[in-house]
Amino acid sequence: MPTLNRPTPGIIAFIIGVALILLLMALWQIFFPLAGLTFVMTAALWFWLSLTLSCITLAILLLFLVTGLGVLFVGAGVLGWGLLSLFLFPMLIPFILPGLIILCFAATITRKKRRAGP
């Protein structure tokens, strides 16, 4: 009767180690594109936030410095841009909403000053 060659514990550990390494390499190939997408979305979110807050700040400044119909269009455009930002990225609400509220108050103040006259 032939003797059975049983694997030693060292060979079993080696086979498990190689299988684990291959599994982790396969999982990394799946995880890496997802992580890259996360990095890109985070960068896009910060870009959108900084752009929106700069536009809101510029519109508030224009409301106080310049009068006329052009400022009204700029303010309406920035208000629309801010609302679009809130729709696309709801997690930016705590950052963008105070700026939009200040923009509306600034528009109300400048409108009352224009009606009252110099």
Distance CA 75, CA 96 (A): 15
Residue 2, in any domain of the structure: no
Residue 62, in any domain of the structure: yes
Element (H, E) at 53: helix 9-65
Distance CA 95, CA 78 (A): 15
Number of domains in the chain: 1
Residue 3, in any domain of the structure: no
Residue 116 confidence (pLDDT): 67
Residue 66, in any domain of the structure: yes
What is the dihedral angle through the alpha carbons of 103, 108, 109, 110, rounded to the nearest 10 degrees?
90
Residue 100, in any domain of the structure: yes
Q: Which domain does 84 fall in, by range?
A: 9-116
Average pLDDT over residues 92-116: 79
Q: What pTM was computed for the model?
A: 0.56
Over 80: is that where the pLDDT of 31 sits?
no
**Cβ-based neighbours of 15, under 8 Å, separated by 6 or more:** 7
Over 80: is that where the pLDDT of 13 sits?
yes
Residue 1, in any domain of the structure: no
- Average pLDDT along the chain: 79
